[in-house]
Chain A
Amino acid sequence: MTVTVLAKVRSDGDGVRQVQQRRTNIVRAWALGLALALAWNSSGSLAEYADVILNRYADRADVRPVIFPHWFHRIRYQCRVCHTELGFAMRAGSNDITMDKITAGSYCGACHNGEIAWSPDNCDLCHSAVPGTPTGTRGGHQTTGPGRY
């Protein structure tokens, strides 16, 4: 097919110029295609699936928002521990979590007490997100989820 097209082009008076134009177009197409694919791949956050950002109070308190990595915690605890025993509602942003409650042993503080997991005075280990990142569920290799996440 390509050979046929090239032969037709070369039989024209402007054959050489058209072949050059074709090559230029193909190079441009490849460049545009690669750029599009890279732009798509790098658009948005590449965070791990189900990372949750907690920023109800953090930005206002001038600390980094919290990143809660579901993947790390679900290796160690079944969902029911946090979502039943500790009372975390299953909707990002719907839990009124404060440092006062955590240091009193509620929410994250049930484990992050210096005995089961690191204590709340290790601020930077949890408060680790880029400032200004809004509350919500992030990440996803195939879907970033509907708007409500």
Chain B
Amino acid sequence: MSSMTAADNLCPFHRSLIIAVLVAFCGTAGAGQWQPLKDDGLHDTTNPSLEVLQNPADALSRLPADTAGNKVDWVRAVRDGYIAPRSQLRDNTPVRILDSKILMNTRGSLPRVRFDHEPHTRLLDCSNCHEQIFKSKAGDTPVSMSAILDGEYCGVCHGAVSFPLTECNRCHTVPHDGDGSGQGAQ
């Protein structure tokens, strides 16, 4: 009986229940990655102008795929030229790109975080994060996952508009014994 698994210990009712839930999830998860506006539960279907608005699938299905958030890899979409979002409305607004990485020491067991300024400054201005959300001096900001999950620090954007907080290993990339010279977080 050493080959007996946990599933074998379940009574038939519970085993069937688990299989049914899994099958139903798999069956519905792939269907319709992007809800049409009329079915999203947010748009008022009595609005006569609803049919004028673009549906997410029309635009997002043509961009590099991702598994979370909008199901679009926005960083790659910009980097590879799928889209070229404009950087400013006014000619004299400075557009500053910073190519530097910050290694953030995590006290937990997860790999450390390497924050890469470059993809962030491709979209955001310095003032969006500094000095209100993050101090410019590395190490001066008491970042923690519990605060991030509460919508602070990285969580101002990640979990709300940029890739969600379920994607741990996109930020936690640097092993504790590494020197931090590998591929950065996306």
Contact = CB atoms under 8 A, between A and B. Distances in A.
Contact of A145 (B20, B60, B71, B151): B151
A133 B151 contact: no
B127 A29 contact: no
B88 A33 contact: no
B138 interface: no
Interface string B41-59: 1111001111011101001
Chain B contact surface mostly = loop
Nearest to A5: B12
Given A36-B24, A74-B85, A137-B160, 20 more contacts: A25-B16, A44-B41, A45-B40, A47-B41, A48-B40, A48-B56, A49-B164, A77-B86, A81-B87, A125-B49, A128-B47, A128-B53, A138-B42, A139-B42, A140-B164, A142-B69, A143-B166, A145-B151, A145-B164, A148-B150
By CB atoms of chain B within 10 A, which of A51, A53, A70, A141 has the most? Answer: A141
A143 B53 contact: no
Contacts of B28: 37-38, 41
A84 B125 contact: yes
A146 B155 contact: yes
B158 to A, nearest CB: 10
Interface residues of B, number: 68
B48 A124 contact: yes
Interface string B8-34: 100011111111110111001000011
Contacts of A37: 20-21, 24-25, 28
B103 interface: no
Contact of B156 (A32, A91, A130, A140): A91
B17 A70 contact: no
B161 A67 contact: no
B17 A29 contact: yes
B69 A30 contact: no
Nearest to B60: A71
A122 B49 contact: yes
Contact of A26 (B13, B59, B60): B13
B128 A26 contact: no
Contacts of A125: 49, 52-53
Contacts of A7: none
Contacts of B127: 84
A102 interface: no
B80 to A, nearest CB: 14
A71 B72 CA distance: 9
A76 B89 CA distance: 11
